[in-house]
């Protein structure tokens, strides 16, 4: 009698799809600059602006996953100077966003809790900013390669299809999570309108977190 050997299920070249979905959910739930930015923009400018930011993240992640699938990660590994340059550029951009939020918090901090003047939605470009936040983290390409490759069968004849399926799963989980943050952000907006000092404090706190994200990315974090 042959010993029993458990076999992993394969779906169009994707092994252990359930494990991948579960792992993706946990990864998406980890707070990062993308999700924090979307929640912040939704709390300031509303649901439509929040979804424009989410669309920027969606497009940025799609570009990074495509680059990962087409072998750009090997370019970074062969040219470490390029990788370092992009990493520090991304870190600098996050710090710049953080400092901008801190300036906004200081400028809008009222002496009393009188009703504040709301910022104009036209002053924000959530799609472009969110897209840049996504694209200026080159470690994400290496992350997608190292994470995706664990769930792609090496013997499957169409690995691009396997990467496409994994990418769709990541994007669906990401959009669901961002939707929760967007509607949560609009709920916070009502509270902030009644408490402008709380709004200024929260904006300053988010700015400090963005500076922290930039420092972490420059030091090697933010997968």
Render pLDDT for 25-43 as a digit per residue (tens, 0 to 9). 888 887 788 888 888 888 8
> Does residue 187 sit within a domain?
yes
> Does residue 141 sit within a domain?
no
**Nearest residue to 62 (alpha-carbon basis) of 178, 170, 176:** 170
Rounded distance between C-alpha atoms, residue 209 and residue 219, angstroms: 15
Range with lowest mean pLDDT among 7-16, 31-40, 140-149 = 7-16
> Does residue 50 sit within a domain?
yes
What confidence score (pLDDT) does residue 178 get?
A: 92
Q: Predicted confidence band at 120 (pLDDT cuts at 50, 70, 90)?
A: very low
Q: How many domains does the chain have?
A: 1
Rounded distance between C-alpha atoms, residue 202 and residue 188, angstroms: 10
Rounded distance between C-alpha atoms, residue 200 and residue 104, angstroms: 8
Rounded distance between C-alpha atoms, residue 61 and residue 74, angstroms: 18
Q: Predicted confidence band at 1 (pLDDT cuts at 50, 70, 90)?
A: very low
> Does residue 200 sit within a domain?
yes
> Does residue 129 sit within a domain?
no
Instruction: Give me 49's structure tokens.
Output: 């602006």
Residue 44 has pLDDT above 90, yes or no: no
Residue 177's CB is within 10 A of a number of other CB atoms, namely 16
> Does residue 7 sit within a domain?
no
14-18, 69-73, 90-94, 142-146 — most confident range: 14-18
Residue 113 has pLDDT above 50, yes or no: no
Rounded distance between C-alpha atoms, residue 15 and residue 198, angstroms: 48
> Does residue 93 sit within a domain?
yes
> Does residue 63 sit within a domain?
yes
**Domain housing 96:** 13-117+148-218
Characterize 146-157 residue by residue with b for buried, 16 or more Cβ atoms within 10 angstroms of its Cβ, and e for exposed: ebbeebbeeeee
CA distances from 91 to 105, 127, 137, 143 (A): 21, 19, 8, 17
- Phi, then psi, of 220 in degrees rounded to 5: 115, 5
Q: What is the dihedral of CA 138, 141, 147, 152, to 10 degrees?
A: -170
């Amino acid at each position: 009698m042959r010993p029993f050997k458990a076999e992993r299920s394969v779906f169009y070249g994707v092994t252990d799809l359930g494990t991948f979905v579960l792992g993706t959910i946990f990864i998406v739930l980890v707070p990062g600059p993308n999700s924090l930015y979307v929640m912040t923009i939704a709390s300031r400018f509303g649901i439509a602006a929040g979804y424009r930011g989410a669309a920027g993240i969606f497009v940025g992640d799609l570009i990074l996953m495509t680059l990962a699938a087409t072998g750009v990660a090997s370019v970074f590994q062969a040219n470490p100077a390029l990788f370092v340059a992009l990493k520090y550029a991304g870190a600098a951009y996050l710090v710049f966003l953080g400092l901008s939020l801190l300036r906004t918090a200081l400028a809008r901090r009222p002496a009393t809790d009188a009703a504040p003047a709301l910022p104009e939605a036209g002053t924000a470009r959530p799609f472009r900013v969110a897209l840049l936040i996504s694209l200026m983290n080159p470690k994400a390409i290496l992350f997608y390669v190292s994470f995706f490759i664990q769930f792609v069968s090496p013997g499957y004849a169409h690995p691009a299809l396997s990467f496409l399926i994994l990418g769709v799963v990541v994007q669906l989980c990401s959009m669901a999570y961002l939707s929760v943050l967007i509607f949560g952000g609009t709920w916070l907006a009502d509270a902030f309108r009644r408490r402008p000092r709380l709004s200024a404090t929260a904006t300053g706190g988010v700015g400090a977190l963005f500076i922290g994200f930039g420092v972490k990315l420059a030091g090697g974090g933010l997968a």
